[in-house]
Structure 1
Amino acid sequence: MDLQLSGRVAVITGASKGIGLAVTRTLLDEGVRVVAASRTSTPELEALSGDLLHVPTDLMDPEAPAQIVEKGRDGVRWAGHPGEQRRRPTARRDSAALRVPGRH
């Protein structure tokens, strides 16, 4: 299947198992760079190959969405292995900072 998403970035929450893992796997197969957010990693998530960045996070934390977006934007040090980057955001982001460029 060609979803014409190659080179795009997707954020998947609950990416370590179940439907989130299945979506992560499918998007990686399509050439998407995936920011996989979940509280913990799993062997299944770690076994995936492609442009994958695991962001350990708990979405009950109000700072979590900004952290996920920041890591996805950093993209420079993508390791292709979950859990290798663990850096906290340097500043709180407001909702304007979370908008996708070119979309309103």
Structure 2
Amino acid sequence: SKLTKKLDRLRLLIRVGPGLGLMGTIIPMGSALAALSQGDVEKMSNSMIIAFSTTVVGLLIGIGAYFTSMLQNRWLNEDIKNIEYLTEGIMRKNEISKEKT
């Protein structure tokens, strides 16, 4: 169903977001270390800013997707409970109608 697909996409973001953030941290760290070995502090600091920014973005994606999936999962469970409640009510009403006839 559409809701399950949405939840699956969110679960993917929960897992992939932090991983991409980590990759975005590790890759610029190589440039930062190379700049440090050459004594270029400005290039090193720029690479470090990129590295830590990607970490934060990856974590924000993962955290945002996690809370969104929790909220949508709660809504889905409430909808299921409401459907079950209405179905039970309809079944009881049908049973009462059958008993009267």
TM-score bracket for this pair, using the shorter chain length: under 0.3
With normalisation by structure 2, the TM-score equals 0.21
Indicate the structure (1 or 2) with the bigger Cα radius of gyration.
Answer: 2
Taking CA–CA contacts closer than 8 Å with sequence separation of 6 or more, which of the two structures ends up with the larger relative contact order?
Answer: 2
Considering fraction of residues, name the structure with more helix: 2
With normalisation by structure 1, the TM-score equals 0.20
